[in-house]
């Protein structure tokens, strides 16, 4: 069960890293983002999406 959960978390992290990079958040080295927690990646992704949707905010 632990390996399944770990795999799901790593898959979600990779998805968010890919999204952040594609949105221009961090282009140089994704290893830095991989060190972030899933919660931190989700938070940054939500904030970035808001900034893109409302650029003057």
Q: What integer pLDDT is reported at residue 17 of this predicted model? A: 92
Q: What integer pLDDT is reported at residue 37 of this predicted model? A: 95
- Of 19, 21, 15, 13, nearest in space to 38 by CA: 13
Tokens coding 23:
């949105």
User: CB–CB of 16/49 below 8 Å?
Assistant: no
- Summarize pLDDT for 1-55 with one digit per residue, the tens: 789 999 999 999 999 999 998 888 865 566 788 899 999 999 999 999 888 888 7
Q: What integer pLDDT is reported at residue 34 of this predicted model? A: 87
Domain boundaries along the sequence of the chain: 2-53
């Amino acid at each position: 069960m632990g390996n399944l959960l770990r795999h799901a978390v790593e898959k979600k992290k990779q998805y968010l890293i890919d999204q952040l990079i594609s949105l221009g958040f961090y282009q140089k080295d994704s290893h830095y983002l991989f060190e972030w927690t899933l919660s931190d990646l989700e938070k940054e992704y939500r904030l970035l999406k808001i900034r893109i949707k409302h650029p003057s905010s």
